[in-house]
Amino acid sequence: MNKKLRKAVIAGNWKMNKTRSEAKSLIEELKPLVANADCDIVVCVPFTNLETALDASKGSNIKVGAQNCHFEKSGAFTGEISADMLVEMGVEYVVIGHSERRQYFGETDVTVNKRTRAAIDAGLTVILCVGEMLEDRELAITDELVAMQTKIALNGVSKNELSKIIIAYEPVWAIGTGKTATSAQANEVCAVIRTTIEKIYDKAAADAMTIQYGGSMNAANAAELVAQPDVDGGLIGGASLKASDFAVIIDAASK
Ligand code: PEP
């Protein structure tokens, strides 16, 4: 598998953090620090910050994403946002299937597939999250589980549409815990996902697929993680909230 075929993507998941004014300041601070980056940069912000983030990032190399979208186009779904609504604003990316959505908001592999389908149909690029719980790892079912999550999420997605998908391998036990997967563990599961893509589609599709690692990636450990042959960047929570730390991670992925 040739890592050089793929561009690394560093995406920040701000979760439920930052007011509009804080969002503007963070992006303004980040812009000059990452202007020469040689990787794609995305900030996935709360819905209320999308307009601010789009304005603040205009003319820069920072793209904007949302953290979820609904699978229906419109209707009686109080509190939800459709993919078309995001596209109309100028949003280009959306995180789908984050473990916090799966854990706290009833997201299932089937709804992840429906949201993925809707997001692609609307023209968004999906950052599709998969990953095992600690119990799964202890039962030694990580590979099977992550392969299954990947297969279900991509059900009905054609090979051509894969250019609109980034997969983020995020072991749930490593998210927001300060417990990072070792670079070997991260690479091993990213490789399992790549093999799964090869089985569903073909080798060319697997070679071209951007597969990120996410889970307590920070300024200190990013270089080793993103240097792994099957790791094409990262999805970063906590460390994306500080411009200087996020810029170090972006720099590591640009090498
Ligand atoms: C995430 O929110 O996807 C994430 C990986 O969070 P953290 O970097 O804080 O573990």
The region of weakest confidence among 94-103, 174-183, 229-238, 244-253 is 174-183
Gap between the Cα atoms of 94 and 228, Å rounded:
25
* Candidate from 98, 175, 240 with most ligand 1 atoms within 8 A of CB, to mutate: 175
Let me know if 70 is a catalytic residue: no
115-152 burial by CB neighbour count: b if 16+ within 10 A, else e?
A: bbbbbbebebbbbbbbbbbeebbeeeebbebbbebbbb
pLDDT, one tens digit per residue, over 167-199 is 999 999 999 898 889 999 999 999 999 999 999
Gap between the Cα atoms of 124 and 122, Å rounded:
6
Please choose, from the candidates 39, 101, 38, the residue with its C-alpha nearest in 3D space to the C-alpha of residue 234.
Answer: 39
Please identify, by atom number, the ligand 1 atom nearest to the C-alpha of residue 95. 3
Given 3.30.1330.60, 3.30.2140.20, 3.20.20.70, 3.40.50.1220, which CATH number is that of 9-233? 3.20.20.70
pTM of the model: 0.98
For residue 181, what is the DSSP state?
P
Please identify, by atom number, the ligand 1 atom nearest to the C-alpha of residue 175. 10
Catalytic residue chosen out of the listed positions 70, 98, 100, 132:
98
Gap between the Cα atoms of 150 and 142, Å rounded:
12
Please identify, by atom number, the ligand 1 atom nearest to the C-alpha of residue 129. 3
* Candidate from 170, 173, 226, 242 with most ligand 1 atoms within 8 A of CB, to mutate: 170
Model confidence band, residue 86 (pLDDT cutoffs 50, 70, 90): very high
Mean pLDDT rounded to a whole number for the chain? 97
Q: Which residue has the tokens 């993919």?
A: 83
User: What is the predicted pLDDT for the residue at 255?
Assistant: 84
pLDDT, one tens digit per residue, over 51-64 is 999 999 999 999 99
User: What is the predicted pLDDT for the residue at 135?
Assistant: 96
User: What is the predicted pLDDT for the residue at 175?
Assistant: 95
User: Across the chain, where does the E strand assignment appear?
Assistant: 9-13, 40-44, 62-66, 93-96, 125-130, 165-169, 210-214, 233-236
What's the CA-to-centroid distance between 5 and ligand 1, angstroms? 26
Gap between the Cα atoms of 64 and 45, Å rounded:
7
pLDDT, one tens digit per residue, over 107-147 is 999 999 999 999 999 999 999 999 999 999 999 999 999 99
What does each C-alpha distance from 13 to 6, 9, 138, 168 come to in angstroms?
Answer: 21, 13, 27, 12
Gap between the Cα atoms of 127 and 108, Å rounded:
16
What does each C-alpha distance from 9 to 117, 167, 210, 252 come to in angstroms?
Answer: 21, 10, 7, 11
Q: Give me the residues paired with residue 43 across strands.
A: 12, 64
Let me know if 170 is a catalytic residue: yes
Tokens of 64: 């904007």
pLDDT, one tens digit per residue, over 6-47 is 989 999 999 999 999 999 999 999 999 999 999 999 999 999
| Residue of minimum CA distance from atom 5 in ligand 1 | 215
Percent of the chain with pLDDT over 70: 100
Please identify, by atom number, the ligand 1 atom nearest to the C-alpha of residue 217. 8
Q: Give me the residues paired with residue 116 across strands.
A: none
User: What is the predicted pLDDT for the residue at 5?
Assistant: 82
* Domain-wise residue ranges, the chain: 9-233
Question: Residues 222-251: what's their mean pLDDT?
Answer: 98
Residues lining ligand 1, Cβ inside 6 A: 13, 15, 170, 175-176, 214-217, 235-239
User: What is the predicted pLDDT for the residue at 1?
Assistant: 59
User: What is the predicted pLDDT for the residue at 2?
Assistant: 75
